[in-house]
Amino acid sequence: MTALDTASASTPTRERPRRTWVGVLVGVLLVVLAGLSLFVGVSDVSPVAVLTGGPGSDAAFLLGVSRIPRTVAVVLVGASLGIAGLIMQMLVRNKFVEPGTTGVSEFATLGMLVTIVFFPGMAVVGKMGVAAVFGLVGTWVFLQVVKAVPVRQLVLVPLVGIMLGGVVGAVTVFFAYRLDLLQSLGQWSQGSFATVMQGRYEFVWIAGVMVGVAWLAADRFSVIGLGEEFATNLGLDYRRVVAVGMVIIAVITAAVLVTAGLIPFLGLVVPNVVSLVIGDNVRRAIPWVAGLGAVFVLGCDVLARVVRFPYEIPLSVVVGVLGAALFLWLLLRRRSRAH
Amino acid sequence: MITLEGVTKRYDGQTVVDDVTIGLGGDGVTALIGPNGAGKSTLFGLVGRLLHPDAGRITVDGMDVARTPSNQLATTLAVLRQDNHVAARLTVHDLVEFGRFPHSRGRLTVHDREHVERALSYLDLDPFRSRFLDELSGGQRQRAFIAMVLAQDTKYVLLDEPLNNLDLRHMTEIMRLVRRMADELGKRVVTVLHDVNFAATYADRMVAMRDGRVVADAPARDVMRPEVLEAVYDTAVDVREIDGKPVALYYG
Amino acid sequence: MLTDSPATTSAAPAAGRPRPRLAAAWARPAVRLSALGAAVLVLTVVYCVTDVPGSLAFALEIRSLTVLAMLVVATAVGVSTVVFHTITQNRILTPSIMGFDAFYVLISTIIVFSSGSASFLAFDQFTLWVTQVVVMVASSVALFTWLFGGKRRSIHLMLLVGIVLGTFFRSATEWMQRMLDPLDFQVLSDAMFASLTRPDETLLVLTAGLVLLGCLAVVPLLRTLDVLTLGEPTAVGLGVDHRRVVMLLFAAVSVMVAASTALVGPILFLGLIVANLAYSYAGSFRHVWTLPSAVLIGVVCLLGGQLVLERLLGFGGTLSTVIDFAGGLFFLHLVLRKGAR
């Protein structure tokens, strides 16, 4: 078993008092960071300016057109990516997977390339639809491949996913390079919220809806996480629940791709941290994963905006550094203890 | 002699080998016994310079293990660890040739080849010499590794649980070999064994460890007493004489 | 049947059945290696003299540089991967997969970042080069030792760690590059990414020197490397000063990774393909045979791949993508086959 599994199994009962404390912290952070996100940027949008300037002022306009949409998008993306990771982990029964480590994101990006090549004028919602279909195919391919991996080799599963992603990614890059579309593809897939504004971010609400669906089906995913035999034994239609999960993952991946691009590691780190704190009950975990995911992305987005003020660095880079560091710590942390 | 003076090894504050002072490697076969986690394998690791003691000194025929060049020690002391997994596809002959590495640094002389041939035939490995290790049974593979150690041509031979994962027939076969190596070739063998009865049958001297300390060190017959074994293993053990040999019964 | 030393061959009458002479010859590692060498020569000639657009002398000058660059890269990648495999006792992890070429790019970026491009340019090229290599070798030996020096961990866990490390290094690099002036960034990318088909001569000479240095460190240890295939405990028992040898080898690996990354940038899967093909092709586990086989197979892959892509399909510049694609599939095949066992 992996470090994460044993740790999560032993934690929940012992840590009850800490849970409320962490819950309060996450809530406070969410509010504070969302506030920060509203008022940090190149143009001066301070609460004072908004209040004194009235509804017609520049500050209020900027707030409505750019800052609020951006903050909402960040919160929804963070929450939904966390959920996508959580569900993926339940479907595969492996704690090291998320859309980005299973080739799903790469398939969705390939879908994006297909729309750019064949339907350049397609509306964003159409692009998202195609990307979602490709993402669905990617999820299916991954689940099929994973069946060939012995159950006990837990770390092999994400490895296979990452390689699968690498192969699909190479195909995408090859064609994008041949067709001279590398740059326009890069614009889509570069993870950043810099271009989010009113009228261009609303699709991310679809990802928000998926979070709701996930919450409704939460108990089923908990049971699925215990395995096919177990689920069937409890009278659950295993295939149908898996199908619902796949759709949720694909739609979230595609919606996030068209609004914000690829954001690595989020779906991996957040559910694992939550699992350490409260254990693996999906219904209980969902609000936590959503909240913590939102906090993490909000924090990274604010950091991306201020670290080289007045320029922005891409969010994916900030998440890549912080998320990878956190994930490495999760992987290697047991090393210091005796075996 | 292999001499340990006040040797201590800790892992993260847990003392695995605790102030051990003992001389090993007298004539014949010495068996090291004790429950899991008693520190037997760690002790072997320390003597075989895979681990470094936190305190104390280990010498082999007067050579300080910590200071003597590894290569020089390898001509006096051969160590075979358990679980020898080899990723590369090696033949038995290749493996046994490696035993000459301390002497020849990989460039085999006629003299080296003689040693290899002798080791191969001593362990009846001639028919298998060009077989790959992964094509052998567990017992054959263990014999190949022992042949390598034999080709190393050292005074002392340390075997860490040589019977691991072997069936009854191969266990007996390996232990007979160990005995023959001591009697015919004059090797001084020290071996970690799990099975007390194997130890009692084939070893001249038994050293028992528990909680990182040596709790008994005597001729085999003197260790094979209920009160000693009970103290070592913390479980009820009866010892009966069968055909003049002490046999421990611990199934009751 | 794979045999490798005269003693083995003579002592093993191959289960009594007389083998055809050709097959017997083919079983000899020396014959196999020579065949590979011949293939490389043929490919080189084909690459250099066919499809010449203008003056043959000019084409030869450019193309011989390309072939030389490929040889340098293949040597660096082949030797470093096989040595890395032997030290870490596995055949799946490679320095690239563990993120070490990404690490090299990060180190270079940090050097530019902390010195600023003004001083970067004030350095003469050679001093900068030496600084980079020294920092790279020191820090990657530290990283290697941290990851592989302590308690043995499962290969699969290390693989995951490597992939995450790679993302971490790449993201950190991009972060730093974003913090640089556009001008500094230009200097950096010029210094770091030469192309395989248009190698910079100075850089080629420097990297060739480095690779030679790495080889000089590895060659005296060829037989010790054979012993290391038995694993650390057995190797120590046979009198190998494991710590010292492994440090030296890690340093050689780092030097080679630095050289090949500086010359052509990261090629993720080349080492993996080349090393594994070499193990099954060489006909012996001994590094005397596997190392040169890996190098030559590397040249065949690069040169052959370039020939097919450039001359037959008319696609230039996508070689590393194709290698990543083929390598990824090969890797999946390896992992799943191993997993199924």
A197-211 average pLDDT score: 79
How many Å separate Cα C85 from the centre of its chain?
A: 11
pLDDT per residue over A150-194, tens digit each? 655 666 777 788 888 888 988 888 888 878 887 777 777 776 777
pLDDT at B231 over 70: yes
The structural domains of chain C, ordered by start, are 33-340 (1.10.3470.10)
**For testing the chain A interface, which of B9, B10, B12, B41 should be mutated: the one with the most A CBs within 10 Å?**
B12
Size of chain A, expressed as the number of residues it contains: 339
Provide, as residue numbers in chain C, all residues whose Cβ is less than 8 Å from the Cβ of A319. 171
How far apart CA C325 and CA A175 sit, in angstroms, is 12
Which A-chain residues 309-338 have CB contacts (< 8 A) with chain C? 311, 313-314, 316-321, 324-325, 327-328, 331-332, 335
Between residues A107 and C116, which one has the greater pLDDT? Answer: A107
pLDDT at position C269 = 82
| pLDDT score at B39 | 86
In percent, the amount of chain B with pLDDT more than 90 equals 2
- Residues in chain C with pLDDT values less than 50: 1-16, 194, 340-341
Per-residue pLDDT tens for B28-78? 899 988 888 888 888 888 888 888 888 889 988 888 888 888 888 888 888
d(CA C114, CA A255): 39
| Residues forming CATH 3.40.50.300 domain(s) in chain B | 1-76+155-252
Looking at A90-94, A264-268, A305-309, B35-39, which range is the least confident one?
A305-309
Average pLDDT value for residue range A35-59: 69
- pLDDT tens for A15-28 read 455 667 777 888 88
Packing angle, helices C100-122 and C242-264, rounded to 10: 60
Question: Which phi and psi angles does B132 have, rounded to 5°?
Answer: -80, 150
What is the pLDDT, as a whole number, of residue C216?
A: 92
User: Is residue A245 left, alpha or beta, with left meaning phi > 0 and alpha meaning psi from -120 to 50?
Assistant: alpha
- Quick one: pLDDT at residue C76? 92
Instruction: Considering only residues C18 and B165, tell me which one the structure prediction assigns the higher pLDDT.
Output: B165
pLDDT for position B87: 67
Of residues B57 and A45, the one with the higher pLDDT is: B57
Instruction: List chain A residues with CB under 8 Å of C335.
Output: 156, 159-160, 163
| The one-letter amino acid at B31 | A
Domain boundaries, chain A: 3-336
Q: Is-cis flag, bond preceding A310, omega within 30?
A: yes
Range ranked top by mean pLDDT from A255-269, B105-119, C210-224: C210-224
At the top level of CATH, which class does the domain B1-76+155-252 belong to?
alpha beta
Which residue in C154, C268, C336 is closest to A148 by CB distance?
C336
Q: What is the reported pLDDT for C80?
A: 93
Of A167, A321, A331, the CB nearest to C171: A321
Contact B56, B5 (CB under 8 A): yes
Q: Which pLDDT does position A8 carry in this prediction? A: 40
Round to whole Å and give the CA distance between B10 and B212.
Answer: 10
Rounded distance between C-alpha atoms, residue C215 and residue C27, angstroms: 27
Average pLDDT of chain B is: 85
Residue in C171, C267, C323 to test binding to A, most A beta-carbons within 10 Å: C171
Distance (Å, rounded) from C-alpha C234 to C-alpha B87?
13
- Residue-level pLDDT at C6: 42
The CATH architecture of the domain made up of A3-336 is Orthogonal Bundle (1.10)
Write out pLDDT tens, residues B175-201: 988 898 888 888 899 999 888 888 888
- Percent of chain B topping pLDDT 70: 98
- List chain C residues with CB under 8 Å of B93: 5, 7-8, 11-12
What pLDDT, on the 0 to 100 scale, is given for residue C295? 94
Q: Closest Cα of chain C to A296: distance in Å?
A: 17
pLDDT for C119 equals 54
- Pick among A156, A305, A315 to test the C interface (most C CBs inside 10 A): A156
CA separation, residue A252 to residues A249, A257, A296, A312, B154 (Å): 5, 8, 17, 25, 67
Q: Distance between CA atoms of B26 and A162, rounded to whole angstroms?
A: 56
User: Touching B: which chains, 3+ CB pairs < 8 A?
Assistant: A, C
What is the C-alpha separation between A170 and A153, in angstroms, rounded? Answer: 26
Does A233 touch chain C if contact means CB atoms closer than 8 Å? no
pLDDT tens column, C138-156: 887 787 777 766 655 666 6
pLDDT of residue C3: 39
Q: Which of B23, B26, B17 is CA-nearest to residue B3? A: B23
Distance CA(B223)–CA(B201), nearest Å, equals: 12
The Cα C337–Cα C326 span in angstroms is 16
ipTM over 0.85: no
pLDDT at B102: 87
